[in-house]
A and B are shown apart, each in its own frame.
Chain A
Amino acid sequence: MILSAMLRVKMAWARPTGPRHEVVLSSRLRLARNLRAHPFPPRAPAEELKAALKAVFKASAAAKSLESAARLELCEVSEVDREFLVERRLASRLLISEPAHRGVVVGEREVLSIMVNEEDHLRLQGIDSGLCLEDLLGKVSALDDELAQTLDLAFHPELGFETACPTNVGTGLRASALVHLPGLALSGQVNGVLQSLGAAGLIARGHYGEGTKVLGDFYQVSNARSLGPSEEDLVSGVSKAVEELVRAESKARTELLRGLGKSRLEDMVFRSVGSLEHARLMTYEEAMQHLSAMRLGLSLGWELPADLTTVNELTVLSQPGHVQMLAGKELDAGDRDFLRATLLRGKLKS
């Protein structure tokens, strides 16, 4: 399979159609699973990893929910391709750091996928647009059931699904939502609000975080625990907290529009539009900052030179791996910034 063909296919999670999409960009749900017969990947020798990869690929080929899925061995694709998979959220940095005997299975529109031999033998995941964790649990759990027909999964009668790290044991579930919180960030409330989530047993962190840098006011909220409550209860805990965040963010946005705040907000958004329309060189971080401002303007109903679909798409396409994929070759940072600025200008004019 040629990965660049995936550039033309729109990922389901980037469409601005899901519930609460004005604040929630996407939801992601994963179930960690392991094969009973093999050591966990961090401790498995090459031949064990190889056997596990083969077994998972074979089982996934028989699964109805992964019909017409692509199966990729990471050592068989280029470094640019692997970077692309990470940006597409189909592979993790950890998975691509040692490509040998690692793989991904990618289902239709990239909703359902499997990472093979990351921390665990299988990481089943579902990603879609907006706040849709309950729906994703249904889909991923159905895939899990299908795979369990042919794979002997490691399951402990008391502790549940056995995982390499005990932080995932039990359900193996992590439910997360990618939320856009520019209103709370601008009004200085974001840290307080996120800290209060911690008290509720949730984890909130900046998105695409390299170090402590939060890109474009995007944050990720997920459950901290995996053992004890049922899958449904864990998911509803995250959903409820995210609904609460949506309310707080919407309120913050409305308040920012009052009085003097409105011209300040307009100034910020239209400066960003100006940069996206005219800049000749743009780093990924700067692009995310401007796209975040545009997203805020659009959610307030302002007339801007691109719609939410385009803005969402550009947040994905602006990533370094995607820019290189568009160029068809590896580029140094300066060339990437040039190509990115050109891409953004072109999309905003049309």
Chain B
Amino acid sequence: MLCARCKKKPAQFLIKNIVDNQVSEAHLCLDCAHGAAQESVAPALAGLLSLLGGAAPAPREKAPAKCASCGLRWTDFRKTGFLGCPACYDCFAVPLKGVLQEMQGAVRHSGKRPARSSADLRGRLDAALKSENYEEAARLRDLIRKGRAA
């Protein structure tokens, strides 16, 4: 498929862009996708697209083909710049780390954490244990521990 804008280079991305105040989706080549992101949707996305379109870090053997939770494939991400669900950050942790290092210059968050009253967390932990939802219980216990550490 050819790029919908320049009609010369092969389309590589599926990008939402704004033309005359209308949002439309178009298959674009790297240059045109970069331009579209730059002028309308999100300038930060332009940098990500260059990265994904260029010598993009491909998932190494360790990374699964698709997200176990939402079914997103790494190739879908490379086309749009969007992940599918919170679990994608774990499924694609390895290739994402490379992307983040390039784009954000960092791979570790140092800002705030979700504020949640520990009483509320404890209540939910009890409920999870009672309903034998051990996975959720482990997650909540983890949250409580981290809350204390933070």
Contacts and interface: CB of A to CB of B under 8 A. Distances in A.
B89 to A, nearest CB: 5
**Interface range, B side:** 35 or more
A89 interface: no
**Interface range, A side:** 35 or more
Given A93-B21, A167-B44, A227 B104 contact: yes
Contacts of B113: 155
A148 interface: yes
Contact of B110 (A168, A169, A228): A228
A170 B41 CA distance: 20
A148 B90 CA distance: 22
Interface stretch (A55-63, A182-190, A205-213): A205-213
A154 B115 contact: no
A218 interface: no
Contacts of A162: 86, 89
Secondary structure at the A interface, as helix, strand, loop or mixed, is: loop
A210 B20 contact: yes
Interface string B34-57: 000001111111011000000000
Secondary structure at the B interface, as helix, strand, loop or mixed, is: loop
B103 interface: yes
A159 B42 contact: no
Given A43-B70, A166-B100, A36 B48 contact: no
Most chain B beta carbons < 10 A, residue from A39, A93, A149, A171: A39
In the A-B complex, list the 6 residue pairs whose CB atoms are closest, starting with the nearest: A160-B109, A228-B106, A97-B23, A154-B86, A145-B115, A167-B44
Interface of A: 34, 36, 38-40, 42-43, 93-94, 97, 119, 141, 144-145, 148-149, 153-162, 164-171, 173, 203, 205, 209-212, 224-231
Given A149-B115, A173-B111, A229-B111, 4 more contacts: A149-B117, A165-B82, A203-B43, A224-B43
